[in-house]
Amino acid sequence: MTNQEIEKEEQQIREQYEALINGCPRCSIPENKELVDKAFNLSFNAHKGMRRKSGEPYIIHPIEVARIVTEEIGLGTKSVIAALLHDVVEDTDYTVEDIKNMFGEKVASIVDGLTKLEGAFDQTSSIQAENFRKLLLTMVEDVRVILIKLADRLHNMRTLGSMPDHKRLKIAGETLYFYAPLAHRLGLYAIKSELEDLSLKYEHPQVHKNLSQKIRESEEKHEEFINNFKAPIEERLSNEGYKFTVLGRHKSIYSIWNKMKAKDLPFEEIYDVLAIRIIFEPKMQLPEKTQCWAIYAMITDLYQPKPERLRDWVSTPKANGYEALHSTVMGPSGKWVEVQIRTERMDEIAERGFAAHWKYKGQKEKESELDKWLEMIRELLDNPDSDTLEFLDDFKLNLFSSEMMIFTPKGDVKVMPKGATALDFAFDIHTEVGYKCIGAKVNFKLVPLSYELKSGDQVEIITSNKQQPKYEWLTFVTTAKAKARIKDAFKEERKKLVNKGEFILEDLLKKKRLTVNSRILKKLLDHYNISKRDEFYFALGKGNIIIDNLSKILSTKSKNKWVRYWKLNFSKSDEKKDEPQKKSLILTDQEDEIPFTISECCNPIPGDDIIGYRDEQDKLIIHSRKCPHAIRLMSHQGDRIVSAEWESHKILAYLAIINISGIDQVGILNKITKVISDELTMNMRSIRIDSHDGVFEGTIHFYVHNTADVNNLIAKLVKIKGIHNVTRQERINQ
């Protein structure tokens, strides 16, 4: 680098650091400023000469993370110092002990929590999952660890474009699976939305590009609509003497895409892409809740509300502390608009989540739902022997689920995730209540343990001292706490049965002069349709499985109707010889000896965005990028992920499914089959049409070469008079 380039770079670093100090009022206090300067200088010198994939000096990253920590989350000096130092222990010769000596025990503890795990792991374990677990362990002691980690992840996502494709997929996958839901649970809505949008950008670049373009194209029209919509609201609020701000915005790209998928609708038919937020300064003489409802009454005087879309999180805040009143109303030109009503305090909690929660703690006497949630995580983490991947899945279940209010017989409120059962509720009260539970009364009516609760239910748990926990309960409980407690009850018994099953198999194989190996286990797991080795041994030890045809099972060739033989090409974008699994796969029709399995859970076809996953037997399995199972694999086992893409696809045919609906007319079925068989000469496997009250719905299974064939058929079918909706169904068996 020339002297001029070095000077320019140093100037950029100085400007970024000054912006950090200016954005952190508490950092400007002399004694704090001295410590922040000390942390910056240590980090700058420790990372000297290091560069990120983008080419910029590495020190820019910790500065940007520290800026997010203070400007977007609202944390203070210790967090800024920890953010500046968060990669020092991992990437340089400094130790946690060094940090402790220079900056104190609290900063060292936070930095330690942010440092990735080192050392060897069992091959069947996941380093990613172990790292998440360590983060959570530290989080329950000091939640700033996870808040700084979220800031770190946000900056990494903002600069993800410079990473190779397989790394982008891994990072985007784990962000969507773990970090975005965690940001949601901690009330960081702005960060959660940005993480989701950026994940979509890298997992489905074309989808993100198309939706961004559609939003940009509609911006001018929507801005005019928002101005017309909010003008009478602003007039009413001013007349009532309120100090307020009315903001209009689009919903996030990811939330629009999610709604399009869930409702099978195009962008143009998503009715509530616009939201209006009213943030007001409450008047001293009235409670905040009363004023929120008063403003709601003013709005519904002006616009007709949609009753089923009213959400009251003022009376009962969400578990992450979120408070607001939401309603959807009919605006001008027949458009639905979501209106959110918040005080300034509520808005700060909504934007800054847990950081603002601590600021206002003490204003309300009762323990917050967020405190209860952290206590629940602490309980789950008390079990050091639990399987990490299982723990993470159980934990994930309760991260992003909708919430419902359940009442005890005395009228106390319990916040439970949507889908929780009567037994989940029993374990939420106390572990022993869960173990002894034999049934429940819901709204004074007797129901079984598996009964799925609804918001507003009043639940009385019925117990008996004779009741013992049952392993089968795991099939219908949904909360992480219930699952963990049931597994705890069976831990010792399960361990004995797993060992017994292992001994039974070894004994059977010994008689045939064989020993246990991965190939034999794979055949047995496939035969009994079991995914995990321990589950197989457990079933064998318990007697649920009796192997009386071992020779036949071992002699069976592995068959899978979705296996295709492809020519394997490696792209030139990544030529590291020691990491062949990281290279980009290009799949073509040309037959070769290397097999790939097309996953049945999502059934991707040529033209879909795909990834490859290399399993424990080194087989490559092709998934659709939006398959929930693939997202889980990217978050848990990112090192086994391979970026992949289709090339030519004109020989082999793939099964595709479309859903079709419309107005029932004479001859409509004939018109549909004529388009498929005669005009497009496609091979149709089956067609099912149900008609009721003049409307028909149906499903068609047919064979195609690629997504272009599917899109062509959809375009032809929607032109038939009477057909209203045609969409592709991606087979996802969860």
CA distance 320 to 318: 5
Q: Give the residue among 554, 714, 73 at the shortest CA–CA distance from 357.
A: 73
CA distance readout (Å), 471 to 297, 385, 391, 474, 493: 51, 18, 17, 6, 10
- Residue 138 tokens read as 């530290």
Q: Give the residue among 169, 157, 124, 160 at the shortest CA–CA distance from 634.
A: 169
CA distance 133 to 125: 12
**What's the DSSP call for residue 694?**
T
Start-end of H helices in 47-95: 60-67, 77-85, 88-91
Owner of token pair 């038919």:
269
CA distance 422 to 460: 9
Residue 666 phi, psi dihedral angles, 5° rounding: -65, 130
CA distance 407 to 397: 22
Strands 620-624 and 610-614: antiparallel
CA distance 31 to 423: 54
Buried b (16+ CB within 10 A) or exposed e, 238-247: eeeebebebe
CA distance 199 to 207: 11
Cβ atoms of 538 and 501 within 8 Å: the answer is yes
CA distance readout (Å), 530 to 13, 129, 186: 55, 22, 36
How many Cα atoms are found within 13 Å in the side-chain-facing hemisphere of 23? 20
List the catalytic residue out of 90, 281, 382, 432.
90
DSSP 237-264: HHHTT-EEEEEEEEPPHHHHHHHHHHHT
CA distance 484 to 385: 11
CA distance 731 to 327: 35
CA distance 702 to 689: 15
Q: SS3 for 395?
A: helix
- Dihedral sign (CA 104, 107, 109, 115): negative
Query: Rg of the chain's alpha carbons, rounded to an integer?
Result: 29
Catalytic status, residue 91: yes
List the catalytic residue out of 91, 141, 269, 281.
91
Catalytic status, residue 142: no
DSSP 500-545: HHHHHHHHHHHHTT----HHHHHHHHHHHT---HHHHHHHHHHTS-
CA distance 117 to 345: 38
Show which residues are catalytic.
Answer: 90-91
